[in-house]
Every structure is written in structure tokens, then in C-alpha cells.
A and B are shown apart, each in its own frame.
Chain A
Amino acid sequence: MKLSNQSLRTKQLIGFGAILLMLILVYLYSIKKMSDLNDEIIAVSNNWLPRAVALSELNNNTANLRISQFEHAYTFDEEKMREQELEMIELIDQITENIDTYEKLKEESEAQNIYTEAEKNLYRLFTDNWEVYQDLSFEFFVLSRENKKQEAIDLLNNEAKEAALIGGGALEQLVNLCQQESFDAAQRAEKTFRSAKGFTTIIIIGAIILSLYIARKLVNMILRPIKQLRTAAGYISKGDYDIYIDIENNDEMGELSESFVHMAHSLEEAQNKLVQSEKMASLGQLTAGVAHEINNPVNFVLSNVNPLKRDINDVINVQKKYEEVIKYHNLENQFAEIEKFKNDLDYEYTLNEIDKLLEGIEEGGNRTAEIVKGLRNFSRLDESEMKIANINECVDSTLMMLKNQFKNRIEIEKDFSEVPDIFCYPGKLNQVFMNLLSNAGQAIDGKGKIIIKTWNNDQSIFVSITDDGKGMDENTKSKIFEPFFTTKDVGEGTGLGLSISYGIIQDHNGSIDVKSELKKGTEFIISLPNKQ
């Protein structure tokens, strides 16, 4: 599940998902804070303030009730007393309403758990005194109605005053308390708002920073390999194929980098092959020229050797004839003189040497002619016609020629499949097999084994020649197709065999591959196009 192993699309999705999630979180958080805030505001507007209003009205109305009672007490006028009574009824209605309002709000705030013990106690104090005051009011009313005015006034000024003061005081404190609480709630709301604002800002900034970070990371993940590719492409255009791209991601960019490196290597291989074949081609032209030039003088030398031998024989015979004639005519002195001269010259040795020298000239000429022939072959100067032939038969005919050479030393194992006939230069292919087989034979020191395999598929016919000889190191392997490259002693190998073979196989649009391990053996695999 490593992020670097995901595809670009997944990376993008994960990135955007993370950003989206963050925005949703921020959104939810703000909503939550807003609703907290809303609750506070509702608490302020719906509860404490209305409670405070109800309580202060209640306070006013109870005070007014008391004033009306005084006015009732101070008059003897029946009419006025009636008026005051009506007003008192109205006030009592209002008081009832105030109490109802307050108690309803009180129940609500109790349900919300925001009703304080202090408020509860103060309200109890008020109701207790209000009850006492009502009891006293009954007494007062009876006195006042019966015109016992002084007693009524005394009642109002003494017992009722106490209850009124305590009850009124409780109401005032309650109003203050509610105002204080509503103020506190407002402050809490403001604090909530501030902290919500702060938190939301911090979270939004965090979200922005994180999104930037994710975006950067994503872009880097894509950009880094692109930069590496650009640098690598620069190197390649300068001809340096040995590029390295550190492929850390398993995404599309990773794949691209991988195929890029692969491409660079194939490019290098193709380039090397091109250089190799160009080298071969120019060497071929050079060789063709040289071979042509050397051919004539060598022919000259070779064609002169035999007549020279004959001529020298004649000269020697003439000299022998002289000696016989001298011996025959008993010219002892002359003969002795000649013998002495011959001894002085070491004539026997000279005769021997002449033979050897002639042999040397002949061998040298022959070998030069062979080299020239090889060079001409290598440069494809003399192409014979293409024919239909069977590869198995070609290999067999080559083996026939080598039979004597291999004899008991080398065991040949043939593993032939029924391969189709192909259109080819059979003589030249024979030359290739001859060279490969004799190389294999030469690579084997003492007894050994050569395995020859043939097989085919729709496109190609394959011939593999494997020996268990001395093998090659990498350095040798890289040079074997170059003309004149040989590890053999001077005079033993020309180093042309494989380069000629290479050219021949190329003429057939085939390929020649080599696998080798030092001291284990070598395998050459030839593939030829399967067409007639």
C-alpha cells in the first residue's frame, strides 16, 4: 500500500481525497461551533432575558399593588375605594401572568440544566413572602373596608412592609442574577465565537498548507522522474548510453523510466552492431583491394616455383653429367680438383639447402595464396549462385571432411531435427560450418566432445555447435568476429575464420550468437531465415 507504488491516477485521487476530507472536517467543525454559538444566543434571548423582564415586571406590579393598597387605606370615599379595588384586581391579574411566564421559563431552563440553585432559593424566598403578603392583604382589606383605616395603614407599614421588602429584595436580586447570567451567556457566546473563529482559521490554514504539501509531493513524484528522463535523454544524445535512472515509484512514471533505460540499452546495442558491421564493411573493401593486389604477385611466385625446381634439377643433372664424363675419361686430377672444390663449397649441403629453400618458397607462396583466398572470401568477391539446400546435409558433408582430422580424439554427437530446405549459398555455409567445427576442435585440448544440433520454427532454422573446450573470457568473446583476431600462434590461425563466417551469415540475413564460459566450453548458434 505504499503511496509511491500507486498509479498516478490513484495518487491524484488520494491527494484530492485528503484535501476534500480536510475541507469537510473544517466545514463540520465550523457548523458545530456555529450551532454551539446559536445555542448560547438562544439561551440568552429565550431564557435569561425574558426571565429578567418577567421578574422586573413582577416587582413593579407587586410594588404598585402596595401603592394601591395605601391609596385604598387613605380614602374613605366608597367610589375611590372601588376604583382602587379594580386596579388591584388588574394588578393581581398581571402578577399572576408574570408568575406564570416566569415559571414556564423556569421549567424550560430547568430542563436545559441552566437554572441555578441561587435563583431557585431567591425565588422560593419571593414566593414565601408573597404568600405571607397575600395573607396580610386579606387582613388589610377587611380592615380598610370596615374603615379601620389607621389599623390598615399600620398593618401595611409594619408586618406587610417586612414581607414586601424581603419579597421585593428577592425579586431585585433575581433580576440582577438573570441579567448577570444573560451577560455571562453573551460573554460565553462571544468567547465561543472567538475560539471558533481562531480554530477555524488555524484549521483552514493547516488545510491549505497540507494541500500545498500534498500537491508539491504529487508534482514532485511526477516531475522528478521527468527531470531524470530529460537529463538521461541529454546524455544519450551525446552518445553516453550508460544512463541510470533511480526508479523509486511503481507507477506509470516508473514504468516509463524503466522502458526508457531499456530503450537506451537497446539503442546502444543497435549502435554497436551498426559500428561493427560498418567496420566489417570497410574492412571488407580494404581487404578486397589488398587481396586483389597480392593475388597477382603471389601467383607469379607460385607459378615460378615449379619451373625453377625443374630448371635447378636440370642444372644439377648437367653438373652430374660433367662429373661422369670426367670420371669416365680418367681425368683423375681434374676429378680430384672438382671434388676438392665441391668439398670446399660444402656442395652436398648446398644441394640439400636448395631443396629446402624451394620447399620454403612453395609453402610460403601457398600459404599467401590461401590467405588471399580467405580474404577474397571474407570480402565476398566471388559469390556463387543461390541454391535450395538442406542444412543437415551441409553439416554432414562438412563433417565428412573433418572425419580424418578428429578421428579418435573428438566424439561428435548429432542431434538433428527434420528441418526444411532453404534457399542459400551451400558452399559458403559449408565454409562457416567448417570454420566453426575446426575452431571447436582446436579449442579442445586432448579428448572432447562436440554437439551439433539443428531445429527450426516458423521464422528460422537454427544450428548450434557446442564444444567442451577451453572457452573464452569476455574480452576475447567481444573480439572474435574482428578480422585477423586470433589467439592462436603465428602461422596456426589467420584470425579470419569467424569474420568470414559472420559476413556469410549476414549475407543470408541470419545471425550468429555465441555463448561461452572459460574452461567449460563454447556454443555458437546460427539462425537462418526459414524461406525457400
Chain B
Amino acid sequence: MKKILLCLSIFILLSISSNAQIAVIANKSVPESSVSKSELLDLYSGDIKWWGNGDPVIIFDLKKNDDVKKDFYSFIGKTPSRMKTIWMKKMLSGEGDPPDALETENDMLSVVAKTQGAIGFVSLDIIDNSVKTIAIIKD
């Protein structure tokens, strides 16, 4: 009984801590194996438009303002709303359209796996080897 309780509590602890972690994922065609915080901001602001191999950078966003999304943007120093403002400016100045916003993290995972030059973010615990992880955000 005690052992079960112990296992349970470890499991709960693990699941809580893994839930809080976010993986920045990219399509396997992306040559970069890791990106820094400021590079992430530039990628999502549309200031970096191409990967090292010349492929265009295609960013993806989540539709719902859930914890994963908020944590991701606050990691790069912005709010979701502020990101939208940035994208709106880019759009108005003809520098590019805002990213597609996907319904779920699983959608994000599969779309990034499918799309060449794609970059996105999901909870660390749902990633698989269909994508490559280029950064892990711990809180």
C-alpha cells in the first residue's frame, strides 16, 4: 500500500513538472539543432525569415490562450496580444502574414511534422520523433 502511494505521488509530481515544460519543435528539414531565446523572438516576430539552408521559416501559433501559449510567449518576453500587434504591423507593412493558429497541440505536432521549414511549440510530454526539438523551456 505504501509503495503504491509512493509511486502515485512520484507519478503526480512527474506529470506536474513535465506539464510545465514546453518544447520548441521544428520540422526535420530544419538544419538548426537549437535556437536561443532572442532567435526565437526574431523567428516569431518575422525578423528571421529563412533557415540556414534557405528554406522559409513558417511559424505556427495556438488558437487558445492556454498556459502553453502564454508561457511560450512570456519566455520570449511578450504577451499573446503583443505578438499579434507585432504581426499586424508586419502585415500592414507587407512583410508577411500572421501565423496560422492551430486548434490543439496535437494539430501543432502533426502540422509541424508535415510542413517543411515549420516551427512551433507544444508541451514537452507529447512530442514524438516526427519532429525535432530545438529548445526546451522550463519554468
A residues contacting B by CB (< 8 A) are 85-86, 88-89, 92-93, 95-96, 99, 127, 130-131, 134-135, 137-138, 141-142
* Contact of A138 with B88 at beta-carbon distance under 8 Å, contacts A85-B93, A89-B93, A131-B80 already known: yes
- Contact code string B68-85 (vs A, CB < 8 Å = 1, else 0): 000000000001111011
Contact of A85 among B79, B81, B92 (CB under 8 A): B92
Q: How far is the CA of A93 from the CA of B94 in the complex (A)?
A: 16
Q: How far is the CA of A518 from the CA of B98 in the complex (A)?
A: 132
Q: In the complex, what residues of B have CB within 8 A of residue A85's CB? A: 92-94
A363 CB to nearest chain B CB (Å):
144
Contact B85 A96 (CB under 8 A): yes
B86 CB to nearest chain A CB (Å):
9
Q: How far is the CA of A131 from the CA of B62 in the complex (A)?
A: 13
* Contact of B121 with A by CB under 8 A: no
Instruction: List 3 A-B pairs, minimum CB-CB distance, nearest first.
Output: A134-B84, A131-B81, A85-B92
Q: In the complex, what residues of B have CB within 8 A of residue A135's CB? A: 84
Q: How far is the CA of A135 from the CA of B85 in the complex (A)?
A: 10
* Contact of B44 with A by CB under 8 A: no
Contact A127 B81 (CB under 8 A): yes
* Contact of A89 with B87 at beta-carbon distance under 8 Å, contacts A131-B80, A131-B81, A134-B81 already known: no
Contact of B98 among A92, A96, A138 (CB under 8 A): A138
Q: How far is the CA of A137 from the CA of B79 in the complex (A)?
A: 18
Q: How far is the CA of A138 from the CA of B93 in the complex (A)?
A: 13
Q: How far is the CA of A131 from the CA of B88 in the complex (A)?
A: 11
Q: How far is the CA of A88 from the CA of B85 in the complex (A)?
A: 11
A117 CB to nearest chain B CB (Å):
20
* Chain A, Cβ-Cβ closest to B90: A89
Contact A92 B80 (CB under 8 A): no
Contact A89 B84 (CB under 8 A): no
* Contact of A137 with B88 at beta-carbon distance under 8 Å, contacts A127-B81, A131-B80 already known: yes
A90 CB to nearest chain B CB (Å):
10
- Contact code string B95-113 (vs A, CB < 8 Å = 1, else 0): 0011000000000000000
Q: In the complex, what residues of B have CB within 8 A of residue A137's CB? A: 88
Q: In the complex, what residues of A have CB within 8 A of residue B93's CB? A: 85, 89
Q: In the complex, what residues of A have CB within 8 A of residue B87's CB? A: 138
Contact B89 A92 (CB under 8 A): yes
* Contact of B91 with A by CB under 8 A: yes
Q: In the complex, what residues of A have CB within 8 A of residue B80's CB? A: 131
B17 CB to nearest chain A CB (Å):
29
Q: In the complex, what residues of B have CB within 8 A of residue A138's CB? A: 84, 87-88, 91, 97-98
Contact B81 A88 (CB under 8 A): no
Q: How far is the CA of A138 from the CA of B101 in the complex (A)?
A: 12
Contact A92 B85 (CB under 8 A): yes
Q: In the complex, what residues of A have CB within 8 A of residue B84's CB? A: 131, 134-135, 138
* Chain B, Cβ-Cβ closest to A84: B92
Q: How far is the CA of A99 from the CA of B89 in the complex (A)?
A: 16
* Chain B, Cβ-Cβ closest to A82: B94
Q: In the complex, what residues of B have CB within 8 A of residue A142's CB? A: 97
28 contacts between A and B (CB under 8 A): A85-B92, A85-B93, A88-B92, A89-B89, A89-B92, A92-B85, A92-B88, A92-B89, A93-B89, A96-B82, A96-B85, A99-B82, A127-B79, A127-B81, A131-B80, A131-B81, A134-B81, A134-B85, A134-B88, A135-B84, A137-B88, A138-B84, A138-B88, A138-B97, A138-B98, A141-B88, A141-B91, A142-B97
